[in-house]
Each structure stands twice: as C-alpha cells, then as structure tokens.
Amino acid sequence: MIPQRGVESGYVWDAMEIQFTTYIFKEGRTLAAHALELDVASCGGTREKAVEPQRGSAFVPGRG
C-alpha cells in the first residue's frame, strides 16, 4: 500500500497498512470478532460485517 497523507476533522494523518489477528466467535446467530492487537471487538450477521468495523479502528491522530 502506498502511504497517503490527508486531513480529517482537523487532524493530519498518514495512512499505512497494518496487520492484525482477528478471532471470530459465534454467539447464537451473531458473529463476534475480536482483534487482539487493537483490543477492538465488533459483531455482525456475517463474517464480513463482523470484521469490517475493525478496519478503520486503528486511526491515531498525527502531528501536522
């Protein structure tokens, strides 16, 4: 991935690709996903919907 630079809500950010492990558990009819390295959990009716919210959860504001 090519690093990108932008401004959102007054924060300057540099985009970079990170890798993390997500464990998926079945809770009744819902799938729960837990990204260990980010300590973020999300859920959804399908695997894709359970994992998708984690993709944007690693936003860290930078200095600009």
Instruction: Give 24-41 pLDDT, tens digit per residue.
Output: 999 999 999 999 888 889
Q: What's phi and psi for 48, nearest 5 deg?
A: -65, -45
pTM: 0.63
Confidence category of residue 57, pLDDT binned at 50, 70, 90? confident
2 vs 30 pLDDT, higher one: 30
Q: Could you say which DSSP state residue 21 is in?
A: -
8 A C-beta contact, residue 44 and residue 34: no
The domain spans of the chain are: 21-59
State what percent of residues in the chain have pLDDT above 70. 66
